């Protein structure tokens, strides 16, 4: 082999070794920057400044807005803001009227709050409020046709569906759709079974309403709404009947954590419901048993915020815990 060939081979070997080291260094750097995800596990976030239950929630950008709710003795209008990135809390403009047990949803960076109560559900409202973080202001919108508390809301194609609830001693099957773009309401096909505090989420193009309190108590009633046909169908019941759970849709499933059977103590049960297979699966339980917490999903992760030891307003222990579930 000539001297020139030997020198060339040395340079090639050095270049390959350098490339290998560069790739290895990049791999090491990436592993340090991106912590490993532990699936089906719970962690905790910074404590909620004011402990509340039955609050309204919404995710805008990297923040969760926790609005209103019940403390252990009163109804509040607080707007507590959790920055997911920094794991810190701040405050924003309060809701114009102290409210709990309302439905809430976010469309195009605006948080909407529907109905609710300020006295434990005895009197309910049809008020609609819209909050814009950019201006830190609340604006009244067209009132909801049916005054109610303990309803829930889910979004499909920028339309908010307010589902079920409670009013005048009756568990409602009412479903009303709100279009934020036109500030108008449309009555939709009712639930097959009237109920309050169900776990609700949009999975694909379908809206699931699982569990909740009916006129016959907690029976696990599980219904799926087809937006295209404006129709509800009964699906496999939640094997652990309850209401007031922490809930959210992620990865093609609806997750339902905690809650309680009527006014019984809160529980730690965590299950997921896959619409495509019509199956329920038991997941890692909540670290702290909780009922009627705030619920939020950010980048496929479920946040269960605050809540109480039971759904009995002003007769329970209210928590400031932030429990975070990684599916």
- Summarised one tens digit per residue, pLDDT across range 172-208 is 999 999 999 999 999 999 999 999 999 999 999 999 9
Span 34-78, pLDDT tens digits:
568 999 999 999 999 999 999 999 999 999 999 999 999 999 999
d(C-alpha 84, C-alpha 172), whole Å: 35
d(C-alpha 325, C-alpha 304), whole Å: 8
Residue 28 pLDDT more than 70?
A: no
Domain assignment present for residue 77? The answer is yes
Span 268-321, pLDDT tens digits:
999 999 999 999 999 999 999 999 999 999 999 999 999 999 999 999 999 999
d(C-alpha 113, C-alpha 58), whole Å: 9
**Full residue range of the structural domain in which residue 82 is found:** 41-326
Domain assignment present for residue 71? The answer is yes
Domain assignment present for residue 11? The answer is no
**The whole model's pTM is what?**
0.90
What dihedral angle (degrees, nearest 10) is formed by the CA atoms of 47, 49, 51, 53? -90
Compute the 3-state secondary structure of the chain and give helix, strand, coil in percent, each to the nearest 5: 10, 45, 45
Domain assignment present for residue 296? The answer is yes
Domain assignment present for residue 185? The answer is yes
* Total domains, the chain: 1
Domain assignment present for residue 271? The answer is yes
Domain assignment present for residue 1? The answer is no
Do 80 and 66 contact (CB within 8 A), yes or no? yes
CATH code of residue 202: 2.120.10.80
Domain assignment present for residue 15? The answer is no
């Amino acid at each position: 082999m000539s001297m020139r060939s030997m020198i060339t081979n040395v340079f090639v070997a050095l270049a390959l070794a350098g490339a290998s080291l560069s790739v290895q260094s990049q791999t090491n750097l990436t592993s340090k920057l991106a912590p490993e995800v532990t699936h089906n596990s719970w962690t905790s976030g910074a404590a909620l400044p004011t402990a509340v239950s039955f609050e309204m929630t919404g995710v805008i950008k990297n923040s969760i807005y926790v609005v209103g709710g019940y403390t252990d003795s009163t109804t509040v209008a607080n707007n507590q803001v959790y920055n997911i990135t920094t794991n810190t809390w701040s405050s924003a403009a309060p809701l114009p009227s102290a409210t709990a047990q309302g439905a809430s949803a976010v469309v195009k960076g605006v948080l909407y709050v529907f109905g609710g109560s300020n006295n434990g559900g005895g009197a309910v409202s049809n008020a609609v409020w819209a909050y814009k973080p950019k201006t830190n202001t609340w604006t009244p919108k067209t009132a909801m046709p049916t005054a109610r508390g303990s309803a829930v809301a889910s979004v499909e194609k920028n339309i908010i569906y307010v589902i079920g609830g409670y009013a005048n001693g009756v568990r409602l099957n009412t479903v009303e759709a709100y279009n934020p773009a036109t500030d108008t309401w449309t009555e939709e096909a009712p639930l097959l079974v009237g109920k309050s505090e169900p776990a609700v989420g949009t999975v694909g193009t379908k809206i699931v309403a699982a569990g909740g309190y009916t006129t016959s108590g907690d029976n696990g009633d599980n219904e799926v709404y087809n937006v295209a046909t404006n129709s509800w169908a009964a699906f496999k019941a939640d094997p652990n009947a309850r209401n007031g759970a922490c809930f959210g849709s992620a990865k093609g499933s609806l997750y339902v954590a905690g809650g309680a059977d009527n006014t019984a103590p809160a529980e730690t049960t965590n299950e997921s419901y896959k619409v495509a297979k019509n199956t329920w699966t038991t997941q890692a339980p909540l670290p702290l048993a909780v009922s009627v917490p705030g619920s939020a999903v950010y980048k496929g992760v479920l946040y269960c915020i605050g809540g109480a030891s039971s759904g009995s307003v002003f007769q329970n222990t209210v928590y400031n815990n932030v429990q975070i579930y990684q599916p």
